């Protein structure tokens, strides 16, 4: 995967004050729900520590944008995603033609699985709508189909990894430059045409 320079505000860790408040409120409701189920603090900690995403209710953030991750963020992000993906495969019996063992070597699969994981986090949070679980299952179906298509192109298997096919075309720089210049001129002319005439 390439590394694209991105403004700090787009990094995974960026969130506003309102988001912190929502995350704290969500975590509080989660702890109350555990207490209501008769779990003491120690049992609650054991429960959340073994759940691949419930423990993160304290730190709910926006979706992960993989091209924006800094070196110091990537190691933990990879570990978290691997843990979640392996739980997902076990929970739903996903075949290698959907999630092959080399999934982490394919950007399409990484970003699709990451998006599905982030969707699950918010869909099953205590503050989620009662219909959010159904929405997540629709997302699972769509992402599963997308990943099946990607794996069909590479033909990866349990025993073999095959790289993604390279891009087969290149942008014609002259045509590109002409297009952009024409587009800018058209937009400038549109402003002139829309400007009311003052007598």
Tokens linked to 192: 């002139």
Cα-based distances in Å from 58 to 40, 47, 133, 147, 192: 18, 14, 20, 30, 52
Rounded Cα gap, residues 130 and 37, in angstroms: 19
In 3D space, the residue among 110, 22, 127 whose CA is nearest the CA of residue 67 turns out to be: 110
**pLDDT by position in tens, the chain (length 199):** 444 433 333 343 333 333 333 333 444 444 444 444 444 444 444 333 445 554 454 456 788 999 999 999 999 999 999 999 999 999 999 999 999 999 999 999 999 999 999 999 999 999 999 999 999 999 999 999 999 999 999 999 999 999 998 889 999 999 999 999 999 999 999 888 877 766 5
DSSP per position, 35-76 = HHTT--HHHHHHHHHTSTTGGGGGG--S---GGG--HHHHHH
Domain spans of the chain, in order of start: 13-62, 81-187
d(CA 115, CA 139) in angstroms, rounded, equals 9
The string of pLDDT tens digits covering residues 39-68 is 444 444 433 344 555 445 445 678 899 999
Which helix (H) or strand (E) segment holds residue 138: the answer is helix 132-154
pTM of the model: 0.64
pLDDT at 61: 73
CA distances from 151 to 87, 95, 139 (A): 20, 11, 18
For 101, the token pair is 């063992």
Cα–Cα dist 61/48, whole Å:
17
């Amino acid at each position: 995967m390439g590394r694209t320079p991105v403004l700090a505000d787009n990094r995974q860790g960026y969130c506003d004050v309102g988001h912190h408040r929502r995350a704290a409120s969500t975590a509080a409701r989660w702890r109350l729900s555990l207490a209501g189920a008769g779990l003491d603090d120690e049992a609650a900690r054991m429960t959340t520590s073994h759940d691949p995403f419930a423990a993160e209710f304290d730190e709910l953030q926006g979706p992960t944008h993989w091209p924006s991750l800094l070196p110091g963020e990537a190691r933990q992000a990879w570990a978290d995603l691997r843990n979640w993906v392996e739980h997902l495969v076990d929970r739903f019996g996903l075949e290698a033609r959907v999630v092959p063992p080399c999934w982490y070597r394919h950007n399409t699969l990484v970003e699709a699985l990451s998006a599905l994981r982030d969707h699950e986090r918010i869909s099953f949070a205590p503050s989620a709508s009662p219909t959010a679980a159904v929405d997540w299952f629709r997302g699972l179906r769509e992402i599963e189909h997308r990943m099946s298509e990607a794996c069909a192109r590479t033909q990866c298997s349990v025993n073999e990894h095959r790289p993604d096919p390279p891009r087969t075309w290149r942008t014609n720089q002259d045509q590109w430059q002409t297009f952009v210049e024409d587009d800018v001129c058209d937009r400038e002319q549109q402003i002139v045409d829309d400007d009311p005439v003052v007598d």
